[in-house]
Structure 1
Amino acid sequence: MQIQWFPGHMHKARLEIQAALPKVDVVIEVLDARIPYSSENPMLAELRGEKPCLKVLAKSDLADEELTVQWQEYLSSTEGVRARAVTTKDIPTILKLKYAAARMVPHKDGKTIKTMVVGIPNVGKSTIINILAGRKIAKTGNTPAITKQQQSVNIGDGITLLDTPGVMWPNVHNVNSGYRLALIGSIKETAMDYADVAFFGARYLTATYPERIAKRFDLDEVPTTELELIEAIGRKRGCLGRGNLVDIDRASRIFVTEVRSGGLGRLTYETPKIMQREKIQTAKDIAEKEERDKEKELKRKKRFRDKQRAQKKSREMRG
C-alpha cells in the first residue's frame, strides 16, 4: 500500500510555509512519539534547511517510555535540533516548550522570537498550541487536516507562534511509514484499507509486544501469523459471518481501534535502528524507481521517433 494523500489545501499550505520560513527564528515540529520517523515530514525538513528546530514528541503517554528516551537522544544528537517529549495531561511540560525554543536562539535575547509550529495531520499540534496560548485558538479533533490556514498568535514572554495546517507530502515512499501513519490515524479512512493496515500492525506487534496482545484479546497463545491473529480477535469479539467465518474487515477495524485508543498499552512502532535501516532501503527503492522511469521514458521516445520515421517513409512512398 502506497499512501498518496495530498489535498489541494495541503499544497497551498506548503507554499505558505515556504514563504513564511525566512521570517521565522525557530521551527517547532510536532511528531507522534509512537512513530517519530514516520511522522517526520521530509518535505518540511527540506524547507527548513539549517534553521533551529525543536522536535516535540507528542502523545508520549501512548508510546513506549524506554523507546521515547532513545528517540529524544537520537534526535537531539543532530546539529541545531532539540527533542522534548510531552503529553497533554502534563501542561507544565508543554508550557516549558517556549523557553526551550528561546534557548535555541540566544542571540535573540530581549527581542521578539518568532516560532512556527508544523506537523502532519492529527499529531496533536492544535492541542499543544492551545495550551501554549492559554486559550482555544486552534481547532482540535481526531479527524486529520482540521486546520486549514495559518494564524499568528502572541503566546507571551516575547514569543509569537505561527500555526500552520497539518501537511503530508505527495508520496510516502517508505511503505512501512505509510502503514504506520494509517495505523495511528494520520491518514484519512478513504485513503487506506483496514485489513492491510491491521495485518501490518499485527505482524509488528506479535513480534515486539506479544504479551500485550494476549492480555488485551484474552488469548491463551499468540498466533504466529497476522491472518491467524486477526481471525482469533474476530472470534473473540463476535465478528462472525456466514458459515461461522470471521469477517476480516470488522476484526481488522477492532484491532486498529484498539491500537489507536491505547487499549494495548504504551506502544512504539519504530526505533532509531529501524529508521536507519528503512532510510537506506527507501533511498535504494527510489533510485531504482527513477531508473525504471528513465528507461520507460527512453522507450517511449524511441517508439515516438520510430512512428515518425515510419509515417515519413509512408508519405515518401505515396509521393
Structure 2
Amino acid sequence: MVFFLGAALVFVALFMVFAAIGGLQSETRGVNRSLAVLEAMTSAPTEMAKEYDAPFGERVLAPLYERVTKLGRRITGADAADRIRHKLDLAGNPPGWTVDRVSAGKIVGAVCGFGMAGVFSLLLGFGLSVSLVVIAGGTVAGFFGPNMYLYQQAFDRTARMQSELPDAIDLLTISVESGLGFDAALMQVSRNTDGPLAGEFSRVIREMQLGMGRSDALRALGERNSMPDLKSFVSSMVQADAFGIPVGQVLRVQSNEIRIKRRQWAEEQAQKVPVKITVPLIFCILPCLFIAVLGPAVIQIMNSGIV
C-alpha cells in the first residue's frame, strides 16, 4: 500500500514538473509570437503602414461621407444635381458648399431632425400620434434644411444686388462715356465696388478672358441670377452687341429705366404700409388706446355705484 502511494506521489510530481515545463514553453512561444508580430509591424513597408497611420477622418469619416452622398443622390433624383447647382449659383456659391455636400447634408439633416424630434417628444411626454407627427415634421425639416438655407442666402443676395445695380450701371455709363470699352468699364466696376454684383461682373470678365464670347458670358450672368432688372440689362447689352448699337446710349437708357423702377418700387412699398399696419392697429394699438382713454371713466362709474 505504501509502495503504491509512493508511486502515485512520484507520478503526480513528475506530471506537475512536465506540465510546468510545457506551460513555460507555451508561454515562451506566445511571447516569441507577440514579439514577431510587433517586429513585423515595425518593419513593415511604408505603403502598408500608411493604412494604419491614416487619421480617423480618412479611415472612417471619408467612407461614411461617400456612402451618405451616394444615398443622397439616389433619394434626390437624377436631375437634382442641376437644380442644386442652380440654387448654389443663386446663393452665390457659399464657401464649402458643393452639390455632393448639399445632397449629403439632406440625409444628415433628416437623421438629426429625426433624432432631435424623437428626444423632444420623449422629454415632453407626447402621445403616440403627436410623437409621430413631431418626428415626421422634424425629419422633413431636417431634410429640406439645406434648401431653406440656400433659399435664404439667395433672397438676401438678390436684395443686395437689387440695391447695388443702379449705382453699378451709373458707374458703367460714366466709364464708357469717358472713353473706356465695355470690358474695361466692367473691370473697373468689379474692382472699385464690393458686394455680390461686383463678384458677378468679375466672373463675367474671367469667363471672357478664358475665351467665352461677350454675349455668352452675359447670358450666363442672366441665367445665374433671378433678378428681373439684371436680366433686362443683360438682354439689352446682348442686343446692343449683336446689332452694333452704341453701348453708352444703351447704358444711359438702362440706368434711367432702373432708377424709375426703383422709385416705383419704393412708392409701392409705401402704399402697402397702411394695409400692413391695419392688423397691428386693430389688435394691438386700439385696445391699449381704449384702455387708456376709457379706463378712468369706467373706474369712476364703478366707484360711484351707478353700475
Q: TM-score, normalised by structure 1?
A: 0.25
Q: Which has the larger radius of gyration?
A: 2
Q: TM-score, normalised by structure 2?
A: 0.26
Relative contact order, higher structure (CA 8 A, sep 6+): 1
Task: Give the structure with the higher percent strand.
Answer: 1
